[in-house]
Structure 1
């Protein structure tokens, strides 16, 4: 058989490339299909965009954007988008103020400049956005103390911790360190910024999965069952590792061949009071919950 011509060699190489490319494409398609399938299972349920929780999240997102972008551009973009969808001037102003953006009057002035004079004129005065070092870059010791304060506050058994607490703590520390005099009622670092700081420190606002224990309000059969469970454990005391009473407690070793280790909550977790559906939780420093 004669040698392949140059044309045949080119066609053969082309066929190899096509097969290789198609195989790679099939793998990519399969991978993409798997990712799309995963996303389909991860789609969230309905979101109530009118809730206060969503508004707080928008406020938090706006604070983050203001630290890394230009406040003026963000505010004008939001204002023009709201007005594009026929949102009234008053409602737009109320929304922008709620999330910490520019007022509607200021946004309208900048929108007029943008529409009538173009982007170049609009961009001549870009105020807002991050410039220079952040607050924590200048006061790292205050950040460390604020983080420890927040973690300790989150370990409280009751869900009473709020962002205002570290904001007040940072405010007091700042004026203590600098020796300045506080002249207004606001915080040196806003609660919106502190919410971002808390998340950066591993402290999140999440579901509180604890359950209340209503002492004295149980049904008679519930009380009877609890007494039976307690009496069962008390009658098998020799099976368990436990601590002796007195001022100098010591571990008491079980006297049976097959001892048992009990894992349980301490009595302080059983409390009779209301609980919050959500609370701030520091990762790795979770308090005891009633489960």
Structure 2
């Protein structure tokens, strides 16, 4: 289990992580989300002992990771796929990691095959594409067969097949009882992959909960209603407290009233409905709403 308690990191006057507390449990894929500058990468570095906290604690399995021998047997991590020696071959890179962690050479061949790099293992890493470097980084994270895995933007540079493969890999690893913690800016991928979410903004916790619960916090859930008498229905819905907007010549977008209540109202007043469709708030919508005040850079038209 990953446990972060009142974790704080300051660089001079700038606070990158501010009294952050959350728990990541085994057997689940946990997405780590936040706007640019939210402190995600800093938090991962603090977890791995690559930076020292100003205050608070970050532990993996109840202990700080820094200083633990043969660390790849305990935690596998991919923080930056480009931080490798470009003059080495993929196989040599993994063999050096295996040697330093007391792992057998056979394990190198196993992970090369698992990530699809067996045919490129003797090429120099400097000639790898970004997607190939990501696969090599994932191979390094898997090398020690660890119970905990941390990934920072692992999908960068991957083609659709690679994205599909990584999605299945994360689900399999969690299904084996491992702790899988994935930082990503791709909402659609987290929607398909994560069980739980940790969301941060400006170094502070915004949410730590199951993905479905977070997505449901968005306020943009709506119902599309189509009827030959939209104006009449709109008046009835407004009197029930719903917010109604035109959505075409015979359609209405309704918020604040459930589909069953809309249907019952239509029956009561003998109104024909030709469509009654519920649209749930998406993860992306909930994320944008709940982190709007935490974004480092905002865009918009002229004011």
The TM tier, using the shorter chain, reads under 0.3
Q: Report the structure, 1 or 2, having the larger strand content.
A: 2
TM-score (norm 2): 0.27
Q: Greater relative contact order: 1 or 2 (C-alpha under 8 angstroms, separation 6 or more)? A: 2
Q: Report the structure, 1 or 2, having the larger helix content.
A: 1
TM-score (norm 1): 0.28
